Amino acid sequence: LAKTTQPISMDSYEGQEVNITCSHNNIATNDYITWYQQFPSQGPRFIIQGYKTKVTNEVASLFIPADRKSSTLSLPRVSLSDTAVYYCLVGDSAAGNKLTFGGGTRVLVKP
């Protein structure tokens, strides 16, 4: 499984856009990029998944450059409730769905 590297923490303010970049230099051809969000005292929950270019849903956008060696999760106009840990994972969804979670990025949204 490809290893991922992401910042340990980020601070932001309400209403700003938050961008978290994840590096995955050894991503394989069949790997997808998936992001999870975890609030304190809860289990992680799926946010978004992509393979290439751009994916957008009601929560976030995921930007993946052509070489796929990195990806950026974009959270538009964050609120205090977006304070959480965000995990970037890379893996082949056809390979039994074994995921490797790194340390994640702790995002703190301030008023």
Q: What is the Cβ-side half-sphere exposure of residue 101, based on CA atoms within 13 angstroms? A: 14
Distance of CA 108 to the CA centre of its chain: 15
Q: Give the span between the Cα atoms of 77 and 8, in whole angstroms.
A: 21
Which of 9, 46, 65, 108 contacts other proteins by CB under 8 A?
46
Which of 9, 30, 79, 93 contacts other proteins by CB under 8 A?
93
Our finding on whether 34 is near other proteins (CB under 8 A) is yes
Closest CB 79 distance from other proteins, rounded Å: 22
Which of 21, 23, 32, 59 contacts other proteins by CB under 8 A?
32
Which of 5, 9, 57, 100 contacts other proteins by CB under 8 A?
100
Which of 9, 15, 28, 45 contacts other proteins by CB under 8 A?
45
> Quick one: tokens of 31?
């790997």
Q: Give the span between the Cα atoms of 51 and 31, in whole angstroms.
A: 7
3-state secondary structure of 81: helix
Using CB under 8 A as the criterion, which residues of the chain lie in contact with other proteins when the complex forms? 32, 34, 36, 41-46, 49, 87, 93, 96-104
